[in-house]
Amino acid sequence: MEENSKKSRRKFLDRGLKIGVAGVLGGIGLSKLSAKFSSDEKASTGETMELMTTDGTIVEVDTSEVMEVSHDHHYSMDYNVREGIPNRKFVMVVDLAKCKNALKCQTSCNKNHYITGDNAWIKVYKMQESPDTAPYWMPTTCQHCDKPACVTVCPVDATFKREDGLVLIDNERCIGCRFCMAACPYSTRVFNWGDPGQEVTLNLDLTDYEPTPEYAGKPSKMGTVDKCDFCPHMVKQGELPHCVTACPNGVFYFGDKYEDTVTNGEETVRLSKLLKDKAGYRLLESLGTEPSVYYLPPVDRLVEFEDGLEFYKEFESVEKPTEE
Amino acid sequence: MRNYDTIVADLAPRKFGRRGIIWISILSLLIVLGIIAYVDQVIQGQKVTNMNDYSLWGIYISNFVFFVATSFVGSATVAILRLTKNEWRTPLVRIAEIITLACIIMAGITITIDMARPDRVMYLFIHARLQSPITWDIIIIPTFIVISLLLLYFPLLPDFAVLKKYYAESKPRLSKLYGRLSLKWTGNSEQKALHIKSIRVLSILILMAGVLLQTIDAWLFSTTYRIGWDSSAFAPYFISGAFVAGIGALVTVIYVVRRTRKLENYITEYHFDKMGKLLALACIIYLFFNINEYVVPFFTAKKGEDAHLHSLLVGNYAFLFWLVTVVGLVLPVILLFFKKGRKPFSMFLIGMIVVIGSWWKRYIIITPTLQEPILPIQGVPESWHSYFPSMHEWVITVATLAMALLIITLLIRFLPAVPIQRTADEEEVASIQLKQIPS
Amino acid sequence: MRKSKSNLSGLRIVFWIFILPLMVFSSYGQEVQKNRVRIKADYIKVMNSQSYLDIKVISRIDRQMQDVPNIELEVYYEFDNDEIPLGKTKTNMSGASRFILPPLSEIKADSTGTYTLGVAFGGNENFKRGSRSVSFKDANIITQLLEIDSTNYIKASITKAIDTTPVVNSSLRVQVQRLIRPLKIGEDFNYTDENGTILVSVEKGIPGPEGILTLEVVLADSDDYGTVKAITKAPLGVPIVKDNSFNERSLWAPRDRTPYFILIFTILLLVLTWGPIMYLIRNLYKIYKSQ
């Protein structure tokens, strides 16, 4: 069994690498290939490499045709799914002052992670510490703790902490004991109590999907745990997680702590400065879980708390497809 | 003074009567229903339960904790009474050993029922992570099963030899089986020396393993950040609770065995009186830990703790909480203070109440805590704000309880419920071949 | 029963009478109404590297903007009212394509030094044909790292390629390359002076691998020059300090990094229980053998 899963992981890596290269270079391979007809001054090296084209076919091109152009990613795509992208440490900053419970993050997350259950991976809590203090909206994702309580209690290494900061779940390994859910103080984990039915509910063709902890919650498996994964499938392509791009108010910042840079898509700022200027904090710091998600307090708000009440649903976080 | 032959005749296993057969049939029916429900749960997934992302553990787990707790009876009576040389234990230990074995086997089965992917049960060994308290459980439960099997088996050796002889003519095949099981026991001095040494080692071993088992079980909960579980006194709390549950179960089973097998001459009011005192002691100790668990948080009254206490003391779970605490714990203590309360029948009733109280106590430990997470429960269906077991859960749980009772019943059917050889020795009517053997 | 059935068939006839012409009309309409594609093309030049066109194709389908994947595009340049082909490309799943251009020496510019490139789509069964052209002049950015009074600066000058005259009063962006979006340094707008030059201080303490920052000076989306980008590696940052706690033995590590105390406890537990168990089983055997 172990042999098998290893093999499939390698297979995934192999494929992921190809897709990754194709993704980063975009159409370069092809367009360069065609450009070659008019400009033939570069000598061919004689070496070839496989590339996956945008329509999924594999072409062999001369290595001289492939080059990185605009952006030099100093991380390799060839990494172990359980160890993570080397030399990265992903963090998120959530600016509570900007959140007005528009719930676009949740809708986008639900859609892009093919969530079919009743409990979303990203929640926007209606918070009020005491009757005299101000109410505010608090979006929560998985906190991707550096000392994750959920990982500690997992008996089979199904949920694991990566060097790049991500806490992920291997749903081919999970035995469904739910100890991690009991251990998580942020109640962020969700369980597939029944068959997730992604292929039925969402009209997904799941025949070709190989499950991996990085594949955006697809396919979900009955009797296993799911949760927010910080969208490594997007980050790999140099893109932001879905909740970050979906937010109309720029609440979420995402980035690499080592680079000291986070971005919400609109503005890109230094993490340390942001946390210093706006008195960033982490949820339940006293528990010592060392989350990777920072919060900026809801001060000097540009939005009214009451505006969010319109979208607030106490008993729903995943919109069900309406049956016709 | 009874003579040796009457003792053997009285204590040798007997066929079921009509009532016994009805009892077995009912248990079997319940088990079959449970298996059907379980198969359905495996096919459909645990959506057939009423568990949800907040109440992520339900009665499967509280039932598991109950079985683990009850299995402590072996450690509590056998080991402690043996080590403290309490002679009145003789007619009780065998039944305690049987309950222990049955409950620990059922604990192992129950925890697997809670696993949503039973098809991956081998991963617990293949991919075992020692940091997880579940892995410790995976280590200790099979260990404890082996130990309780040995604990049952060793003192049975001389009895098997006795039974071999007893059935030699009436049931030769049964006699042969008992003979095999007796490992050619003759009672010679070498065997007896080994026997004495082994049982001494076993007494210490079962006590140690029992404490470890209860501790690991408590740590399953107290190693989380959950309000109501996150307690450093959880292990002793569980051990003392296990004491109560175990002795409660023992009293109940012993009463039934005494009645059905007509062993009034062997299990006397004296024994019930002693057990009553032991049960009272256990309840008082447990009450003390309960006060610790609930009164201390009441003083610090952290926000979450406060809500948790509120739900227990006056909220959703108040009725159950007070029922379990007052009827299941305080009332037995009061009744057991009176000599009349320690008479067999009232002891039986008290034992029943204590066992049922212990079962619901586990429910009270598991369920309310899960409904007080640190962040509020929002964005999930309204039904997720509470938990009460579904039909599937009840049927399966009842089946596990029935299975435990079935194992106990069958063991009592084929094994002498009261140690024969030891009783004979104590009655000083040792036969010529089989000399005095302390078991 | 029967009556209602005949009623129903009557209704059906009426239904078809109304619906059929509609269907014919709409299917006819569909054939005519192909969707229009909108092509966006940006010229980007990276100094000392390559120039390329970033192409994006979208279409308004059912009142929603959608990416158009997998369509073939032709890239050409215009000279003397002629369209000289440069190559073909295809959009990816998000409707984008990057076309690497040959060196500008192989493309002819008009007398003012303006190059005109075009991207054309020939149309297919779903989309109408469409095209887009983009014009630009060639410009160069030269950067230089300076240290003045122990403050680090990056100096950048932009000149027109045709006559090396400075491009005055245009806004240049200075930024550090980052994983997802570049981190801006200096002002939001740094306008070039009469020499086409800007001077931006590089703040201290920006982390980079081994302390090396990849700085970009960008003339972004200029009407005249497109996007021109100069990339410089500058040893002006602080080295990234990696958190190596991942490799330590910890409670949350995988099982090959179990803390020693847990290993010891487990082994102790196993020895303490299984040792006596083995002893007891041996005793059973000895009892069996002793007679």
Closest CA to C176 of C212, C142, C216: C216
For chain A, what is the largest distance between any 2 Cα atoms, rounded to a whole number of angstroms? 74
Average pLDDT over residues B363-383: 94
Crossing angle of helices B234-261/B90-114, nearest 10°? Answer: 120
- CATH for A90-312, options being 3.30.70.580, 3.40.50.720, 3.30.70.20, 2.160.10.10: 3.30.70.20
Contact state of B46 with A313 under an 8 Å Cβ cutoff? no
% residues pLDDT > 90 (chain A): 62
Q: Out of A31, A152, A260, name the one closest to residue C100 (CB).
A: A31
Q: How far apart are CA B22 and CA C8, in angstroms?
A: 63
Least confident of A268-272, A295-299, C13-17: C13-17
Q: What is the pLDDT of residue B6?
A: 87
pLDDT digits (tens, 9 = 90+) for A208-249: 788 888 888 888 999 999 999 999 999 988 899 999 999 999
Half-sphere exposure of residue B99: CA atoms within 13 angstroms, side-chain side? 31
Least confident of A57-61, A250-254, C142-146: A57-61
User: How many Cβ pairs within 8 Å bridge chains B and C?
Assistant: 75
Q: How far apart are CA B112 and CA B114, in angstroms?
A: 5
Report strand pairing: C82-90 vs A167-169. unpaired
Whether residue B45 is predicted with pLDDT greater than 70 in this model: the reply is yes
Contact state of B188 with C290 under an 8 Å Cβ cutoff? yes
Contact state of A35 with C184 under an 8 Å Cβ cutoff? no
Spatial contact of A105 and A122, defined as CB atoms under 8 Å apart: yes
Q: What is the pLDDT of residue C142?
A: 92
Q: What is the pTM of this model?
A: 0.85
Q: Which of C270, C273, C285, C288 to probe the B interface (max B CBs under 10 A)?
A: C273
Neighbouring chains to B with at least 3 Cβ pairs closer than 8 Å:
A, C
Q: Out of C52, C176, C209, name the one closest to residue A87 (CB).
A: C209
Least confident of A70-79, A261-270, B208-217: A70-79
Residues in B closer than 8 angstroms to A148, CB to CB, are none
Average pLDDT over residues B30-57: 96
Mean pLDDT of all residues belonging to chain C: 86
Q: How far apart are CA C166 and CA A245, in angstroms?
A: 38
% residues pLDDT > 90 (chain B): 81
When mean pLDDT is compared over B226-230, B347-351, C222-226, C236-240, the highest value belongs to B347-351
Residue A57 touches partner C, C-beta closer than 8 Å = no
Q: How far apart are CA A311 and CA A309, in angstroms?
A: 5
Residue C232 touches partner A, C-beta closer than 8 Å = no
Q: What is the pLDDT of residue B281?
A: 94
ipTM score: 0.90
**What are the residue ranges spanned by the domains of chain A?**
2-69, 90-312
Average pLDDT over residues B368-383: 94
Q: What is the pLDDT of residue B302?
A: 83
Whether residue B81 is predicted with pLDDT greater than 90 in this model: the reply is no
Q: What is the pLDDT of residue A303?
A: 86
Contact state of A55 with C85 under an 8 Å Cβ cutoff? no
Q: Provide the chain A residues 164-223 that lie in CB contact (below 8 A) with chain C.
A: none
Count Cβ atoms below 10 Å from residue B86 Cβ, excluding itself.
14
Residue B9 has φ and ψ, to the nearest 5°, of -65, -40
Residue C103 touches partner A, C-beta closer than 8 Å = yes
Residues in C closer than 8 angstroms to B201, CB to CB, are 276, 279-280
- Structure-token pair, residue B181: 């099981």
pLDDT digits (tens, 9 = 90+) for C161-210: 888 899 989 899 999 999 999 999 988 888 999 999 999 999 989 999 99
Whether residue B430 is predicted with pLDDT greater than 80 in this model: the reply is no
Contact state of C252 with B147 under an 8 Å Cβ cutoff? no
Q: How confident is the model at residue C20 (pLDDT cuts 50, 70, 90)?
A: low
The DSSP secondary-structure symbol of B169 reads T
Spatial contact of C170 and C219, defined as CB atoms under 8 Å apart: yes
pLDDT digits (tens, 9 = 90+) for B1-17: 578 888 888 888 888 88
Residues in B closer than 8 angstroms to A153, CB to CB, are 131-134, 223-224
Q: Out of A32, A160, A240, name the one closest to residue C180 (CB).
A: A240
Average pLDDT over residues B134-156: 95
Spatial contact of A153 and B134, defined as CB atoms under 8 Å apart: yes
Angle at C158 between CA C153 and CA C164, to 5 degrees: 135
Q: Out of B139, B194, B205, name the one closest to residue C287 (CB).
A: B194
Whether residue B200 is predicted with pLDDT greater than 70 in this model: the reply is yes
pLDDT digits (tens, 9 = 90+) for C77-103: 988 888 889 999 999 888 889 999 998
Residue A126 touches partner B, C-beta closer than 8 Å = yes
Whether residue B428 is predicted with pLDDT greater than 70 in this model: the reply is no
Average pLDDT over residues B395-416: 96
% residues pLDDT > 70 (chain B): 97
Least confident of A292-296, B79-83, B164-168, C100-104: B79-83
Closest CA to B145 of B89, B105, B99, B188: B105
- Structure-token pair, residue B277: 């005192």
**DSSP-derived secondary structure for B307-318:** HHHHHHHTSTTH
- Structure-token pair, residue C290: 């002793």
| Residue C62 or residue B101, greater confidence | B101
Q: How confident is the model at residue B287 (pLDDT cuts 50, 70, 90)?
A: very high
Q: Whose structure tokens read 């094994």?
A: B415
**DSSP-derived secondary structure for A230-260:** --HHHHTTT---HHHHH-TT--EEEEEGGGT
Residues in C closer than 8 angstroms to A261, CB to CB, are 176, 178-179, 181, 183
Whether residue C28 is predicted with pLDDT greater than 80 in this model: the reply is no
By C-alpha distance, the chain B residue nearest C281 is: B150
